[in-house]
Amino acid sequence: MDSIKKNKSVLINVGIFIGLIVVAAIFVIVPHYKSIKDSANSANANPKTLDGQIVLLNQQIKTNPDNIQLYISLSQTYLQKVRETADVAYYQKINDLMDKAEKLDPKNADVPATRASVELGRHHFKEGENFANAALTLNPHNHLYYGLLGDADIELGKYTEAVKAYQEMVNLRPDYSAYIRIAYIRELYGDIKGAKETLRLAIDSGSNIKESLAFAYVELGKQDMRGDLNQASKDFKDALEIVPDYPTALEGLGKIAYFKGDNTQAEKYFGEAYNKLPIVQYATDLGDLYSAEGISNKAKQYYTLGQTSFTQSETSGVNTDLEQSLFLSDHDLNLGEALSRAERAYADRPSIYAADYLSWAHYKNGEFDKASQYEKEALRLGETDPLILFHQGMIAAKNGDRIKAKKYLSASLKLNPRFSILQADVLSKTLKTL
């Protein structure tokens, strides 16, 4: 592997990434989730809680309406609230605050940086990139701004640019925010060992936000799930020690239970995750579990909840074309819409995943020749992602290329035999026919 500049033992290996990195994830809510108004009204002014901080900051703004830092601090608190509740309605409150802040100080770099975070969260990645660049123009020495730029570049398929942005970030300040991004981009390029090492650096560096540390343990657990379920289980439990009932850790334990053949325990964990945070991700877990068990009515129920959540998220200004395309294609729902959404996503954010999901949508619509046209682009970072390899292997099989199909499917299985509840069995059964 080649490498680029090293700083304080931090190295982004290249040879050749939701931000935090989770901007790539889709956070959407179902109708019964608690509203902002309810949350604020029920909060006491305890500064140790997010709701308490929100109350206190709003009170301080009333008495100090010209203090721009209060607007920035409240916006950052709202951004963390989105991470923890998936309530994207907070984004409009943040934009309203930034409108006021910008009038107070048009040259404050934190204003476009905060706007960048909102646009990334809404999956408007070009706009996010523009705001990140605007922030860097005003202040090229803030390492977090480079992180925002790299996050946008990844989703726009600008991987070389993302590496450069993250390297600038770590050069300026190697901390949790930098390490967590480096871990993702190492994973993206197939350096799983390096990704795990950097996740441990993120954990060791610490964070004053408990959810961030729990997130790092969950990401470590996802990597360990590739080969060591017991270690992965420990990682997820470590996350729960930091944030009890952390949904992604519960989901991880549910997947371990499923792949160990304990569907009852898997259902329990998935249900707990969904009840804690009723978003598409956990609704889909339950739907896929029930589908695998042949309980089609329950599977349909949770898939319907997932679709409703996508609609709500779009109503709040989030672009869900890419995520909806995969969801619809995977579950053979509205396949024409799946293709249309994939085409729009590919135009908006031409990443390896956009290319792959577009090929998968063509595959699901029976357009196998068209599906194969995106193979090279989907694999342009190498044969490193088990889901992409699964998709391209299935497409190759339909196009009669048994050698390529076997190569890709075998590589997917080797990288992560537990990459999907829904597709792992499909992969194994297809391999046996080749």
pLDDT in tens, 256-285: 999 999 999 999 999 999 999 999 999 999
Residue 162 has pLDDT above 70, yes or no: yes
pLDDT over 60 (residue 208): yes
- 389 or 312, which is more confident: 389
- The answer to whether residues 335 and 361 touch, using CB atoms and an 8 Å cutoff, is yes
Give φ, ψ of 13 to 5 degrees.
-80, 130
The dihedrals phi and psi of 2, each to the nearest 5 degrees, come to -80, 170
pLDDT band at 45 (very low <50, low <70, confident <90, very high): low
> pLDDT of 401-423, one tens digit each?
999 999 999 999 999 999 999 99
Contact 161, 146 (CB under 8 A): no
Residues facing residue 361 across a β-bridge: none
**Binning pLDDT at 50, 70 and 90, where does residue 38 land?**
very low
Is the pLDDT confidence value at 27 over 60?
Answer: no
Instruction: Over range 328-336, report the average pLDDT.
Output: 97
pLDDT tier, 18 (very low <50, low <70, confident <90, very high otherwise): very low
By C-alpha distance, which of 265, 261, 279, 193 is closest to 424?
Answer: 261
**Distance separating alpha carbons of residues 334 and 314, to the nearest angstrom:** 17
pLDDT in tens, 224-235: 999 999 999 999
Rounded to an integer, the average pLDDT of 286-315 is 95
What pLDDT, on the 0 to 100 scale, is given for residue 1? 29
Residue pair 146/136 in contact (Cβ under 8 Å)? The answer is yes
Percentages (nearest 5) of helix, strand, coil residues in the chain: 70, 0, 25
Residue 151 has pLDDT above 70, yes or no: yes
* Over residues 185-199, mean pLDDT: 96
- DSSP 8-state assignment for residue 3: E
Band of pLDDT at residue 10, cut at 50, 70 and 90: very low
Residue 44: what pLDDT?
Answer: 55
Nearest Cα residue to 147 out of 26, 20, 24 = 20
pLDDT at residue 50 greater than cutoff 90: no
What is the predicted pLDDT for the residue at 9? Answer: 35
What span, in angstroms and rounded, lies between the C-alpha atoms of 309 and 287?
A: 14
Residue 416: half-sphere exposure toward Cβ, Cα within 13 Å:
24
Q: Answer with the residue of higher pLDDT: 67 or 30.
A: 67
Report the share of the chain in percent with pLDDT over 70: 90
β-pair partners for 320: none
Question: For residue range 356-377, what is the model confidence (pLDDT) as tens digits?
Answer: 999 999 999 999 999 999 999 9
Q: Look up residue 207 and give its two tokens.
A: 């964070």
- Residue-by-residue DSSP string for 278-294: --HHHHHHHHHHHHHTT
Q: Where are the beta strands (DSSP E) in 237-285?
A: none
User: What is the per-residue pLDDT for 294?
Assistant: 95
Maximum distance among all Cα pairs of the chain, rounded to whole angstroms: 71
Provide the pLDDT for residue 336. Answer: 98
Centre a 10 Å sphere on the Cβ of residue 155 and count the other Cβ atoms it contains: 27
Beta strands in 27-93 (DSSP E): none
| 301-336 burial: b if 16+ Cβ within 10 Å, else e | ebbebbbbbbebbbeebbbbbbbbbbbbbbbebebe
Total Cβ atoms within 10 A of residue 350: 16
Q: What count of other Cβ atoms lies within 10 Å of the Cβ of residue 32?
A: 6
Q: Which two tokens stand for residue 249?
A: 């850790």
Question: Where residue 28 falls among pLDDT bands split at 50, 70, 90?
Answer: very low
d(CA 5, CA 11): 7
Which of 211, 225, 181 has the alpha carbon at shortest distance from 199?
181
CB 247 within 8 A of CB 271: no
Among 13-17, 216-220, 227-231, 312-316, whose mean pLDDT is lowest?
13-17
The pLDDT of 49-64, averaged and rounded, is: 91
Per the prediction, the chain carries an average pLDDT of 89
